[in-house]
Amino acid sequence: EAGVAQSPRYKIIEKRQSVAFWCNPISGHATLYWYQQILGQGPKLLIQFQNNGVVDDSQLPKDRFSAERLKGVDSTLKIQPAKLEDSAVYLCASSLVGQGLENSPLHFGNGTRLTVT
Amino acid sequence: QKEVEQDPGPLSVPEGAIVSLNCTYSNSAFQYFMWYRQYSRKGPELLMYTYSSGNKEDGRFTAQVDKSSKYISLFIRDSQPSDSATYLCAMSETNFGNEKLTFGTGTRLTIIP
């Protein structure tokens, strides 16, 4: 089975610019997550979708971050305007619904490494 | 206080040594415990999963959970250079699907040939 695809792999922008990341989950995975991983820290959940509905976006900085999953498949995460502290790896993950953590763990993509200068 | 605390390391050990990685947590509602392995410039991948207190063994890896102490461990026996990676503990309150995982900060491990 193909894994979670993310693009781009790397992005360098200046502060106050905008940037967008794309994620295509594993086929059939209804749940999609965006995590932010700052260097030296563990992943922090930004937003969670089930199909095209938002399950949890409590930690998403909504003044500058937005995400959508219009057709319940692929997703985009946008930052506008970017700040220096947004420099991080943005990880997308997907999983099956209702299968449990052991039978359907989160499958992560390799992430997009964002540097804001 | 963070919900999940993990010694960030880095930790370097010689090949063949036994490695012990640990996490503590404060949220007593956590019942499902996982260890993820993350190679450099890759996404995390599930290594071990345990429910509630007890031990689970899978090859050279053993996961332990002590809910009374709010402490979990991962042991690696006969460590290999291919085990060099960052190890992240993760926890969840539920296991119905749509879980929100809380991760530790990760321990960077290097196995020296």
Q: Identify all chain A residues contacting B92, using CB atoms and an 8 Å cutoff.
A: 101
- Pick the residue from chain B with its C-alpha nearest to A107: B45
- Asked if residue B97 has pLDDT above 70, the reply is no
Q: What percent of chain B clears pLDDT 70, i.e. is strictly above it?
A: 97
Instruction: Tally C-beta pairs within 8 A across A and B.
Output: 69
**Chain B neighbours among A 68-97 (CB < 8 Å)?**
91, 93, 95-97
The DSSP secondary structure of A1-24, one letter per residue, reads ----EEE-SEEEE-TT--EEEEEE
- Residue A102: which pLDDT band, with cuts at 50, 70 and 90? confident
Q: Could you identify the residue written with the tokens 């498949």?
A: A73
Both tokens of B66, joined, read 């002590």
Q: Which of A40-44, B52-56, B63-67, B104-108 has the lowest mean pLDDT?
A: B52-56
When mean pLDDT is compared across A83-87, B8-12, B43-47, B79-83, the lowest value belongs to B8-12
CB contact under 8 A, A50 and B32: no
- b (16+ CB within 10 A) / e for A81-92: ebeeebbbbbbb
